[in-house]
């Protein structure tokens, strides 16, 4: 299963359109959003997704009621954390900030968080995979990024929108945090 992951759009409509096009072109089965769309005018871009969408609010959503109304036809958006069952009995949990998770990661093999605007891929002491897709907006660091999780290949790709460069991680080989 291929899962697209993004966060921290902060109203950058052009980058969101590029991300949706990439998710569709790569054939994602699911797109997971880790917070901070901000305004409702980004929602029409998400309606072009050709797969299921699950997302959580961030700490900068300006109009949650409007976002909920607009996202209804795209998928699920709510207060995090949200847990999703993937193929092979994998469970993924998503929240905007790691501090929102507390003890709720038990039973989940994959954790998606954002908020820092910096992409990262790591495993924790319990062998859980942690993915931060970075910022799609590029406003903070000038490097808009998203992630692609391939559960069949056990791989994560951090994709840099401006350059097309991709960093590949085999999460079966990532060392445990220690």
- Given CA atoms 95, 101, 106, 112 in this order, what sign does their dihedral have? positive
All structural domains of the chain with their residue ranges: 2-170
* CB-based contact 14:161 (threshold 8 Å): no
The pLDDT tens digits for 2-53 are 999 999 999 999 999 999 999 999 999 999 999 998 888 889 999 999 999 9
Structure tokens given for 48: 């072009």
pLDDT at 106: 86
pLDDT at 175: 66
- Identify any residues that bridge with 158 across adjacent strands, giving them in sequence order: 147, 167
Separation CA 58–CA 128 (nearest Å) = 22
Q: Is the pTM of this model over 0.85?
A: yes
Query: What's the chain's length in residues?
Result: 178
| CATH number of the structural domain 2-170 | 3.60.21.10
């Amino acid at each position: 299963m291929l899962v697209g992951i993004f966060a921290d759009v902060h109203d950058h409509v052009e980058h969101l359109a590029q991300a949706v096009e990439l998710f569709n072109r790569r054939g994602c089965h699911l797109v997971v959003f880790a917070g901070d769309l901000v305004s409702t005018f980004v929602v029409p871009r998400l309606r072009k997704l050709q797969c299921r969408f699950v997302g959580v609010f961030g700490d900068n959503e300006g109009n949650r009621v409007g976002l909920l109304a607009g996202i209804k036809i795209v998928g699920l958006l709510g207060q995090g954390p949200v847990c999703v069952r993937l193929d092979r009995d994998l469970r993924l949990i998503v929240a905007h900030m790691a501090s929102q998770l507390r003890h709720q990661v038990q039973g989940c093999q994959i954790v998606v968080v954002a908020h820092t605007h910096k992409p990262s891929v790591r495993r924790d002491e319990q062998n859980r995979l942690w993915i931060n897709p970075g910022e799609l907006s590029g406003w903070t660091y000038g490097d808009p990024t998203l992630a692609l999780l391939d559960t069949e290949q056990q791989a994560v790709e951090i994709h840099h929108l401006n350059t097309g460069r991709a960093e590949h991680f085999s999460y079966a080989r990532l060392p445990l945090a220690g």
